[in-house]
Amino acid sequence: MMFAKRQSHRHETVRHMSARLACVVLAAICTALFLPGGPNAALAAELSDGAAASAAAAEPMHADVAAPQASQLSIEEISRRMKVMNNARLAALAGYESQRTYRLQYKGFGGARAAELGVNAQYVAPDKIHLTVVSQSGSKMLCDEALRRLLAGEEEATQAENRTKMALNLDNYKMHVAGFDTIAGEPAYVLEVSPKAPSKFNYRGRVWVSTADFAVMRIKGEPAESPSFWVKRASFESSYKKIGDVWVLQQNVSRSRVRLGGEATLTIDYGNYGVLTTRPLASAVRMASR
């Protein structure tokens, strides 16, 4: 009887240690997997290079570029127009408030686990974001040690130095046009991108860019560097939607294969932007050109 109790206690201790280690692993993954397609990076990271803003006044803000005409543009011209348009949109966006949902699912070492946070996000231009947890469910350990660390990592990634490193431009990335596609009926360039100086804040993969207003519509890729020792392979996909004249994140899904076995999936749904404050784009163009 005593031996059986000891064995049961030992097994329970091993299970607890396995679960604890799994949470530590997921915390490391989640913190590192704030990828360039992640929250607020879409609104700030690729907009951080203001050098091209002075050209904004000379550029039409809604370039009428159909795919046949667009195919004649060089990657240098596409990149230049992206900078101009992004600076104008950044100047137009004064702030927003949205209700997000962060979901983490893990199957593998230590068993299957899940956690979810409801988060109120408030963004104030040019780079201030405040994230408040309003609800929590599932594994408390995952919520506290993984998802909440992710929120802290997101705020770190909005800092000016890191936004500059993440900016999608020819200073940071090698790029070429791989083809054309349509998303929701809208023509898009498909750009193949890889970083010139790999870091945890940049990526390699494909980027879909609107031929109409040179905004990023979708990103599908993987980190340029492994985000954690525990990760064998990681990938992500981000999608965007247009509200008025600005583009905002709609969803980000990151998947990681864990070295100890198993897979983690982090999904961020950005929900409805209940409050989104913008300035007239024409005024934004004038501001960007100063």
pLDDT tens, N- to C-terminus, the chain (290 residues)? 555 555 555 555 545 555 555 555 555 555 554 444 333 343 334 433 332 333 333 333 343 333 445 557 999 999 999 988 888 888 888 889 999 999 999 888 777 889 999 999 998 887 788 899 999 999 888 888 888 888 877 766 655 555 666 788 898 999 999 999 999 899 999 999 999 988 767 889 999 999 998 999 999 998 888 767 777 788 889 999 998 888 888 999 988 887 777 888 999 999 988 888 877 775 545 544 45
Give the Cα separation of 204 and 199 in Å (integer).
Answer: 11
Domain limits, the chain:
2-288
Give the Cα separation of 208 and 218 in Å (integer).
Answer: 5
Give the Cα separation of 211 and 69 in Å (integer).
Answer: 10
Sole residue written with tokens 């550029």 = 59
Tell me the residue type at 2.
M
Environment class of 76 (CB within 10 Å of its CB; exposed 0-12, middle 13-18, buried 19+): exposed
Give the Cα separation of 247 and 96 in Å (integer).
Answer: 12
DSSP state, residue 21 = H
pLDDT value at residue 49:
36
pTM, entire model: 0.78
Beta strands 186-195 and 113-124, pairing class: unpaired
Tell me the residue type at 167.
A
Q: Identify which of 290, 224, 283, 266 has the alpha carbon closest to the alpha carbon of residue 89.
A: 283
pLDDT value at residue 10:
54
